[in-house]
Copies of this chain bind each other. A is one copy, B any other.
Amino acid sequence: MSSAGATPRKLKKMDGSAEGEEGRDYDAETQKALEEIDSCQNEIDALNERASEEILKVEQKYNKLRKPYFEKRNDIIKRIPNFWVTAFVNHPQIMAILEDEEEDCLHFLSKLEVEEFDDIKSGYRINFHFEDNPYFENNVLTKEFHLGSTGNPASQSTPIRWKEGHDLTKKPKDRNASKGRKRAVEQKTFFSWFTDHGDPSADDIAEGI
């Protein structure tokens, strides 16, 4: 909900005046009133800014307070066999993109962390911790989402160092043959999600995690 109030620009539009002709369209009294609204609005904006900062501080404080519990929970989770792959298999959106071989690979996923950036509003990263596994060399795969106040959201992820013949982003029959070839059919899978940075704003997988 926006706060109630029309800006002077909206009033100008109705008069059909071009922008840049400020202060020419109204009688002196209306002009003065518009200027007073402007300065009043500046005070309100400053208060809004202060409110956002205070709320951010509260969120940061509780992120710190929650952290040890998340860490404790992660430690407990490690004692449950196949916790994360089970969670993924039971999640409708994630399940829909999981291929059989990816599911095998995710048995090595031992820990999952969601870290908000310090200022909270600018984005977050998801850290996937893996045990030693036959698929890739990395121990941690990270996917980051940068929301940013200007421009479109963007994402980036750790380059996966696939082991020979185990690149799950290639079609099975291509794996040992022509490595450079692009996937013939574009089908969404877990690792194609991980490496795709096309349109993070429509990312229902990250939301699910």
Contact = CB atoms under 8 A, between A and B. Distances in A.
Interface of A: 1-6, 10-11, 13-14, 29-30, 33-34, 36-37, 40-41, 43-44, 47-48, 50-51, 54-55, 58-59, 61-62, 65-66, 69-70, 72-73, 76-77, 79-81, 83-84, 86-87, 89-91, 112-114, 124, 126, 206-209
B43 A6 contact: no
Counting from the closest, the 10 A-B pairs by CB-CB distance are: A6-B87, A51-B62, A10-B90, A33-B79, A4-B114, A40-B73, A54-B58, A36-B76, A44-B69, A4-B112
A29 to B, nearest CB: 7
Contacts of A48: 62, 66
Given A1-B207, A33-B76, A73-B5, A14 B86 contact: yes
A136 B81 CA distance: 70
Contacts of A37: 73, 76-77
9 contacts: A2-B207, A4-B209, A5-B77, A10-B86, A14-B89, A14-B90, A33-B77, A41-B73, A55-B59
Given A62-B51, A70-B44, A6 B36 contact: no
